[in-house]
């Protein structure tokens, strides 16, 4: 399997940018994903990036991938209180996903 | 987007009883479904991969006789926790893979199981 690690907590002020980081061990992952989990709810796919890309931008979300360092990050611009949730990064080859520990993002009004 | 529905959302059962959790893909046929378990403040751990019409593939350390998985149709997979014990209390989430794609997997809303 793959080991995927994230920092557990992040607090930001409303309107600021949030950056959630993730490191992984298995470079064979074809895709890398970011999921959002709101309290008591399942997972919502936010975005994903192919392993041969360095960056992907989708509205307020920017994903950066450093393959050399096996580091993935998710930047949320203009963070809102509705962005408060747990964010999981995951690596996968299509049939299996290996999740990070999740980062709990708290947005302070 | 595609919808995966899990039922029930939460269940409380007595120790020693069995509980069945359903995972349905509502608007697509899912040849492959996945079952995850999430402990409080921890990540999701893949338990097993369920393929329609064949036996599930269990991850190392997951007891297949305790966590029975049945994927009898292209839209339904079930997870039965047999002879549940308090240590089985957890959040169980299923996901279904969109056929023909490598990227799309949609998650159910999860089932909170509490064994008392």
Q: At A46, give phi and psi (nearest 5°).
A: -90, -50
Say if B7 is an interface residue toward chain A (CB within 8 Å). Answer: no
Mean pLDDT of the region B74-101: 90
The residues facing B68 across adjacent strands are: B80
User: pLDDT band at residue B76, thresholds of 50, 70 and 90?
Assistant: very high
Residue A95's pLDDT is what?
Answer: 58
From CA A21, how far away is CA A72, in angstroms rounded? 6
From A45, A93, A99, residue closest to B44, measured CB to CB: A99
Residue B46's pLDDT is what?
Answer: 86
Tell whether the model's pLDDT for residue B101 goes beyond 70: no
Q: What is the largest CA-CA distance in chain B?
A: 42
Residue A13's pLDDT is what?
Answer: 97
Say if B73 is an interface residue toward chain A (CB within 8 Å). Answer: no
Peptide bond into B94 cis (omega under 30): no
Residue A2's pLDDT is what?
Answer: 66
Flag residues of chain A having pLDDT under 70. 1-2, 40, 93-96
Cα atoms in the 13 Å half-sphere on the side-chain side of A24: 29
pLDDT in tens, B16-59: 999 999 999 988 888 889 999 987 767 788 899 988 888 899 99
Cβ–Cβ of A43/B44 closer than 8 Å? yes
* Nearest CA distance, A72 vs chain B (angstrom): 17
Residue A94's pLDDT is what?
Answer: 54
Tell whether the model's pLDDT for residue B103 goes beyond 70: no
From A42, A48, A100, residue closest to B93, measured CB to CB: A42
| Distance (Å) of CA A107 to CA A18, A82, A104 | 9, 8, 10
* Mutate: best of B11, B24, B31, B105, partner A, most A CBs <10 A: B105
pLDDT more than 70, % of chain B: 93
């Amino acid at each position: 399997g793959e080991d995927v690690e994230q920092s557990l907590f992040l607090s930001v002020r409303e309107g600021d940018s949030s950056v959630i980081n993730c490191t992984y061990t298995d470079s064979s992952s074809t895709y890398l994903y970011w999921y959002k989990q709101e309290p008591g709810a399942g997972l919502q796919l936010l975005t994903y990036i192919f392993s041969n890309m360095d960056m992907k931008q989708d509205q307020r979300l920017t994903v950066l991938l450093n393959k050399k360092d096996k580091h993935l990050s998710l930047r949320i611009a203009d963070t809102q209180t509705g962005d408060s949730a747990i964010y999981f990064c995951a690596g996968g080859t299509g049939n299996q996903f290996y999740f990070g520990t999740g980062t709990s993002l708290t947005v302070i009004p | 987007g595609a919808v995966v529905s899990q039922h029930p959302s939460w269940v409380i059962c007595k120790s020693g009883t069995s509980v069945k959790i359903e995972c349905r893909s509502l608007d697509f046929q899912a040849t492959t479904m996945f079952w995850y378990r999430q402990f409080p403040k921890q990540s999701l751990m893949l338990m097993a991969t369920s393929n329609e019409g064949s036996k599930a593939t269990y991850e190392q350390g997951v007891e297949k006789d305790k966590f029975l998985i049945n994927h009898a149709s292209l839209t339904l997979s079930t997870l039965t926790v047999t002879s549940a014990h308090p240590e089985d209390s957890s959040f169980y989430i299923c996901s279904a893979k969109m056929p023909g794609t490598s990227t799309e997997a949609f998650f159910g809303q999860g089932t909170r199981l509490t064994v008392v």
